[in-house]
Amino acid sequence: MVRRYSVAASVITGAVVALTGCGGGPAEDGGGARPYRVLITAGLSTQGVLAANAETAVVAAKAGAAKVNEAGGVDGRKVEVAVVDDEGNPTTALTKIRQEIAKKKPDLVLNAGPSTITAATLPVFKQNKILSFNIAPTEDSGDPEAYPLNFDLTGSPDDYTNGLLPYFAEKGYKSAGIIHSSTANGVAFDTAVTAALKAEGIPVLDSQEYDPAALDMTPQLQSVQAKKPDVLLLNGYGAPVGYLLKGIEKLGWDVPVIGDGSVSATGLIATPPPAGVLGTPQVENLVIQALKSSVKNPDDQAVNDAITAMTSTGEIKATLIMATNYDAVPLIAAAAEKAGGADDPEALAEALEDPAVQSAAKVAVLKKYNYSATSHGANLGAEEFAFIPPSEVVNGQYQ
C-alpha cells in the first residue's frame, strides 16, 4: 500500500546558500572528485511553527552531510548542501528548483514540507532523473511505479498504527473512539487506525471528523463520549489540538487520550501557559505517540551524536520528527558503496531497496528505513515509537 503522512540556523531569504557539510570550501569539478550536490527546499521565510519546522529540517540536512564528509564523503566525493527558500509555496518551490537544475543539476533533492511542495516538485525530479528524499509524503510519493527515484523519510499513518497496537495490548484497551481532522492526513489516520483495530478485534465505537478551522469541537467530542470508549485517539496539529483538549476538559471527560504523531509535533503541548497547555489539567490524561529519537535518552549514542552535530550547525527549533533529513546523506553514502559509485541515480535507488544497505547506513533519527522494490515508504517498525506524557522540548527532544 502506498502511504502518506502528514511535517536552518543561517537563513538567507530568497537566496541560495552553498555549503560544504564540514569546514573548507567546496571542491571544484576540475580539482579532484566533483562534489556530491544536495539541494534542499524549505520555507525559511514563513512564520511560526512552519518556519521552525523548515529551519530544523535544513539544520538536520546540513548536519547529516557534515557527518558523512567527516567519514570521507559519498564515494569519496565531498557533499555540498545548497538551500533555497521556497516560502512554503509550491509554485515558488517549483520555480526555484527549475532554476537550480538549469544552473547545475543536483545529485539529490530534499524538502522540508508541506506535502503540497512534494506533490508539485516530484514530477520535475522524475523528468530530470534526480534522486529525492522527502519528509512530507503524498499518496503516491512512496510508490516506486509512480516515482522510482523518490524515497519517503517519514512514517505513514499505517506505520503509526502498527506502532499503536502493542501499546493497546499493554494497556488492555478493548474499545476506542476517534476524533480527527478533515485534512488528508486526518482522514488517512482514521482509515488506517479503524482498519487495524478492527483486525485486532477492537471496535472503534465512534469516529468524528472536525474542520481544522473550527474553534469548538464540543459536538464531536460529545458524540464520542456518549459511546464510552476505553480510550480516545486524537489527531490534530497546531491550534486545533488546544481546542480539542479544552473541549475534553469542558465536558469533564476523564478518559485516556492518545495523541498521534501530528499532536506530538504540536508545540503548545510542550509549552507552559499562556502560550501552551503543558502542566495544566488539559494534558493530565494525554500521552503522545512520538519517535523514540524525540525522547531524551542518554544511552542512545547515535541520536546524541546527531543532536551534537545539529546544534553545532544551528538551532533545533522543532522536535526530531522534523529532522529525518539528517539520515538522507548517510543512506546515500551506504547506497553508493553498494552501487560502486554515486553517479547513477537508478543504481543508487536500487541499492536503497537492499536491506543490507539499510542496515549499514549510519542513520540516527530513525533506526532503520525499510524500503523495498514495491514500496519506497519508510515502513517503520513498532520499535521506532514511544508513548509519553507531554514535557518540555530541548534540542528536539522531550525531556
**pLDDT per residue over 191-227, tens digit each?**
999 999 999 999 999 999 999 999 999 999 999 999 9
In which residue are the cell numbers 503541548 written?
A: 269
Judge whether residue 245 has pLDDT over 70: yes
Rounded mean pLDDT, 252-260: 96
Percent of the chain topping pLDDT 70: 92
The pLDDT of residue 28 = 45
Rounded mean pLDDT, 284-312: 96
**pLDDT per residue over 342-353, tens digit each?**
999 999 999 999
Rounded mean pLDDT, 166-189: 92
Question: Residue 387: pLDDT band by 50, 70, 90 thresholds?
Answer: very high
Rounded mean pLDDT, 277-282: 95
Question: Residue 158: pLDDT band by 50, 70, 90 thresholds?
Answer: confident
Domains of the chain: 16-155+301-380 (3.40.50.2300), 157-295+387-398 (3.40.50.2300)
**pLDDT per residue over 142-154, tens digit each?**
999 999 999 999 9
Considering only residues 84 and 50, tell me which one the structure prediction assigns the higher pLDDT: 84
Question: Residue 32: pLDDT band by 50, 70, 90 thresholds?
Answer: low
Question: Residue 8: pLDDT band by 50, 70, 90 thresholds?
Answer: very low
The pLDDT of residue 346 = 98
Rounded mean pLDDT, 91-96: 96
Judge whether residue 318 has pLDDT over 70: yes
Judge whether residue 170 has pLDDT over 70: yes
Look over the chain and give the mean of its residue pLDDT values, rounded to a whole number. Answer: 90
